[in-house]
Structure 1
Amino acid sequence: MDYDVVVPAENANDDQLAHAERHFGVQFPMDYRHFVSTEGSMSRFVEPAGDYLVIDSIDEVIHINNAGYFQTRFPGAVVIGGDGSREFLTYDFRQDPPSLVLLDVGAEDWSSAVHQASSLTALFEQFPETGWQL
C-alpha cells in the first residue's frame, strides 16, 4: 500500500507504546506494535475505496481516548484512528485477541460498534477494496 506515513524517532515510539499499554492496561497486538514502531502514523485517502483512513501516532492515542471519554462509554476500548471525521477506529479489548471496530463520536455504548477487521493487517489488506464497513 502507498500510504503517507510519519517515520518515528528511534525508540521514542517504543517508550510511548509501553506507556500507552500501562495507561490502558492492555497489550497491543504485534501488527499494531510493529506499525507504530516502524511507520508511526498515517493519514490518507484510499482508492479505490474512496474512504479516508487515519492511524494516529501513539503520542496522540492517550489524549484522544481521554478527551472522548472512550473508556467510560466503552470499557475495554482503545481508539487508534478513524475516518478523519466522526468515526473512530477502535480496538475492542473485551475479547482476546482484540478486533477492530468503528464507533461514531456520538455512540453511547458498544451496541453501536461496527466490526471492521480481526487485525490491523487484515484491515490494511481489505481497506482499499471495501473501505469502511458502516
Structure 2
Amino acid sequence: MREPLPADMFDELCPSSLSPIRFGDKWAGLVIRCLEHGPRRFSELRVPLRRVTPKVLTRSLRSLERDGLIKRTVYAQGTPHVEYELTPLGRSLLGVIAVACAWAERHWEELVEARESYDDATRLGHAG
C-alpha cells in the first residue's frame, strides 16, 4: 500500500504556488510533484490539488501525457481504474522543479510583497 498524498501538500502558503517557472500549464508542476513517488489515481491527485476543478485537472493530465511527461494506464481487470505516472522525461523535471521551489522558498517574502504591492497599486489605479 502506498502512502497517501497529504491534503496540505500544496497549501496556499506553499512556496511551490509562487514558483515563477511553469511547465505546461499552471497545475502541471504540481501534478508532476504528486507523481514523484509513483503512480497515482485521479482521486488521489484530487486530495492535494483540491483547488483544481476535475475538468481542469483532466486537461492538465492530458496535456502532460501529450508532452510525454506522464503515462496514463488503464487497468480493466479487477476494479477498473486509471493510474498516472511519470515517464523518464517527466522524472527528469523533478530536479528542475525542486530548484524552482527552493528559489521560491528563499524569496517567499519578496514575492508576496511584490504581489501585494502590485495588487494594491492596481486597485488604486482602477479606483481613481
Q: Normalising by structure 2, report the TM-score.
A: 0.28
Greater helix content: 2
* More relative contact order, 1 or 2 (CA 8 Å, 6+ apart): 2
Greater strand content: 1
Q: Larger radius of gyration, structure 1 or 2?
A: 2
Q: Normalising by structure 1, report the TM-score.
A: 0.27
